[in-house]
Structure 1
């Protein structure tokens, strides 16, 4: 197989591994707050929002050590062992206890930092400048199929149920745990890419064969490099769209599904709509990843048009959600909300919003992954660690305030951050385009 064919196969396997694993975990995150509300147990007093806040808070702090873990054991093993923790978190819901639930939340935060930094590293070392956009789209589209399969199962299993029984919960989470474990083992199919000329930058020492003899020195070098990258002009500007991606991640992956399940106006199908909503979010994600990554038609215009489309798509979705969903839906009790929305609640409008949330998210994330991989190729692990640090800390804040803030305040925060993030992304991309033009001019 040619080197390019091998690297493309690696990207596909990476995407498939994430697809299978996040079929389980993404579905878990989408339904856990609804499931927790239905528990009939005096031994459990947890909150899905609080758990996610803990996960993302620990995730953000753990990004400082993630590059060093990858340097020590390699990206492939980093993916596998991190995936085992994801499986453990899902398994907690089979027989939940408050202590084990929050303990696994902390461990999952550490594992998530390692997992996503390893993913960014593998994506970069299996890509060239000419293929980073395509590969980002392929990975993103494959991974987002997870939203389709897992939530289809929830839609079928929970349709018509107004209450989730213990048996319903155990059946779902045993199935999700097994699926997650299968995804973990797919990572062993990733092959090491053919070697390139020896790097001159210390940051390229990210694969097992290049590991420093001193783990402590490696940790200090990579942590210092992450800090150095974090204060560069480009990374400071990109931190705003990074932060926005964390806020909207919280909303579509945890809050919106909970809102739909709490809408008594949707009748007995409200709980099943959580799964159907997740499917349509996945359709939007897959469509965005395919159009803007696999087809790669927008590269000649730069990344800005795609990000602008993502902003417009999300603004439309937020406005329709504001009109269609009751303001107390994120914090309503298990029996649901009794408040009226601004319009007669419509299932069709709610599901259109799900699709728009997924499409807009794919617009932002494919372009953020692409620009980080392009700008910081020689420091990919450290750069993606900074990306995930900012994204995860804002997600933690968003999951925390989701316990208290009404829906319209959450939407307002995202609208403001979306505008600011889009503007700062434009500034960075204009710098990339300008440097390309200067380079082309000098080569004439």
Structure 2
């Protein structure tokens, strides 16, 4: 049986992202906790994990407007490779904790992140057809989120029984994460280019336009009614990304009424990853069926899952937990089991949203994927940056109120877009049948 080269490429880019984000997502999950211990050793160090992550996503959002132009010049493979090197720089900056260096590397990584994500969206689309885009999106998402399993499981064991994370432990963790980032860069370097195939077999975007033309296309696309509505859904996913990737695990670790709370920081990331992987694999395996039913039922399921998670978090964790260690009581006796269940639900719901975002973009914007993915990451990154900017001052209940409101608006917007896509497709089919008669 001949090997499907496009599927091989999808698995390859999934592996590269898994290694790179095994390093970065683990670091993002523990960054606030790590830097608090750095400040304990060196009071002159004033760097904030929330501020660092906010800078990353702010620069990512701005850079997404130029990343399609970069893709048009370098191609998706080399854009992803260069972007992966900025992730390595950011992680290694923790070996020499200086406030200015932390924030400078955050800026550089934000620019690189725009390159790696827009390149990924283009590369995935170039290796997919309308029949395989849902499957490939699910496979990629599952492989990507495996990074949360292994990286955070390592942290779970390294932080076991430690209320204070010693420098020697921090150094080992940073070196291991740096090695993973190097591995990801190597895989990006050796990724093959998409195979040359006929237009009726797969729809791909050829980056023939110049950088200025690509930028103009991105601005024009962003102003369309469909993309503006999708942006509401993207904005929710960005706020939720900031919450689960930096705020929630920090809140769990700061809830001293939880036994061995610092250890639960890593375990929370593991359960988020389990939910992400389960969701990605499910939608990858069921890709053809979900396309037939429509993508909106999965998004609605993700919405309901998140509502349950938000309510349970509201009951289980104290209001001040995102802001620092607290002995306050929650509405119920804080439970580590319930906290991990909420982590799982956050990951599963996030997979529902994001796999369908990828599938929709790769399906309806296949001829303009770099611009479409660039806009997606722009809006999502603006939202994530906003979440991290207010994370340092907003208590837990404020986070949950914002999430609930945006979940309702974002889900409704996505369902509206899907409804109009199906209505237009039905109208086109009806016109074709009329002409054939």
**What band does the TM-score fall into relative to the shorter chain?**
over 0.9
Is 1:432 the equivalent of 2:424? no
| Correspondences of 1:209-220 after superposition (within 5 Å) | 210=208, 218-220=210-212
Q: Deviations over 1:296-345 (max 9, x none)?
A: 2322210111000000000100000011001001111xxx2021111000
Partner of 1:57: 58
Q: Distance in 2 between matches of 1:370 and 1:315?
A: 23
Matched, 1:285 2:284: no
Which residue is equivalent to 1:29?
A: 28
| 1:129 counterpart SS class | coil
TM-fit CA distance, 1:372: 1.3
Deviation for aligned residue 1:69: 1.1
Q: Give the distance between the partners of 1:440 and 1:6, measured in 2 at CA.
A: 32
Q: Which residue of 1 aligns with 2:114?
A: 113
Following superposition, the deviation at residue 188 of structure 1 comes to: 2.9
Q: Which residue of 1 aligns with 2:410?
A: 421
Q: How does 1:17-416 map to 2 (within 5 A)?
A: 17-39=16-38, 40-196=41-197, 204-206=205-207, 210=208, 218-267=210-259, 269-296=260-287, 297-332=289-324, 336-416=325-405
Alpha-carbon separation, structure 2, partners of 1:360 and 1:79: 27
Q: Answer yes or no: is 1:441 the counterpart of 2:430.
A: yes
Unaligned regions of 5+ residues in structure 1, if any? Answer: 213-217
State the alpha-carbon separation in 1 of the partners of residues 97 and 206 from structure 2: 41
* Alpha-carbon distance in structure 2 between the residues aligned to 1:193 and 1:261: 44
Structure 2: gaps (5+ residues): none
- Deviation, 1:197, is 5.3
How much does 1:439 deviate? Answer: 3.3
Deviations 1:219-245 (A, max 9, x none): 210111110110111100000010001
- 8 Å Cα contact 1:309-1:363 kept in structure 2: yes
The separation in 2 between residues aligned to 1:319 and 1:94, in whole angstroms, is 38
- For 1:343, what is the secondary structure of its paired residue? coil
| Stretch of structure 1 that moved more, 43-52 or 144-153 | 43-52
SS of residue matched to 2:46: coil
Q: How far did residue 443 of structure 1 move?
A: 4.0
What is the CA distance between 1:374 and its match in structure 2? Answer: 1.2
Contact 1:328-1:406 at 8 Å conserved across structures? yes
Q: What is the Cα deviation at residue 292 of structure 1? A: 1.5
TM-score calculated relative to the size of structure 1: 0.94
User: For 1:394-416, what per-residue CA distance to the aligned partner results, in whole angstroms no more than 9, with x for missing partners?
Assistant: 11111000010000001100110
User: For residue 215 of structure 1, what is the aligned residue in structure 2?
Assistant: none
The answer to whether the 8 Å contact 1:6/1:191 transfers is no
How many residues were matched structurally? 427
1:204 Cα deviation after fit: 3.5
Q: Distance in 1 between matches of 2:311 and 2:227?
A: 30
Q: Give the match's secondary structure for 1:265.
A: coil
Deviation at 1:95, TM superposition (A): 1.8
| Alpha-carbon distance between aligned partners in 2 of 1:405 and 1:31, rounded to the nearest angstrom | 19
Structure 1 residues 353-399: Cα deviation after superposition (integer angstroms, max 9, x where no partner): 00000000000000011111111111100110011110001111110
TM-aligned CA deviation for residue 433 of structure 1: 1.3
Partners in 2 of 1:198 and 1:105 — Cα distance?
A: 40
Asked if structure 2 preserves the Cα contact closer than 8 Å seen for 1:28 and 1:90, the reply is: yes
Q: CA RMSD in A?
A: 1.5
Distance 1:169 1:184 in 2: 23
CA distance in 2, matches of 1:253, 1:428: 27
